[in-house]
Amino acid sequence: MSAAAETPAPDDLEAAADQAIVACGGDARQAVKALLVANGFLEAQVEDLRASVSAGYSRGRFDVPRDRKDWYD
């Protein structure tokens, strides 16, 4: 999935920025710091998830059934 597909509309970004600033008592610097901490947390989660996925599965070496209903029969 590309980053461009997940980019919110400009109006959504403005609203999200306003919400972050309001949540930090109107202090934009505190809002940026809070967002940096949240981003670091999310990056750590991504690394944990990457480590938990097997290399063979991520490279497509395992044949995963598309229709799981048939798989359980």
Choice among 9-18, 40-49, 58-67 with the minimum mean pLDDT: 58-67
Contact 35, 20 (CB under 8 A): yes
Residue 2 lies in a domain: no
Residue 28 lies in a domain: yes
Residue 62 lies in a domain: no
Residue 3 lies in a domain: no
Residue 61 lies in a domain: no
Domain membership of residue 25 as a residue range: 14-39
Q: 27: Cβ–Cβ under 8 A, 6 or more apart, which residues?
A: 21
Q: 21: Cβ–Cβ under 8 A, 6 or more apart, which residues?
A: 27, 28, 31
- Per-residue pLDDT tens over the stretch 18-48: 999 999 999 999 999 999 999 999 999 999 8
Domain count, the chain: 1
Residue 68 lies in a domain: no
Contact 32, 25 (CB under 8 A): no
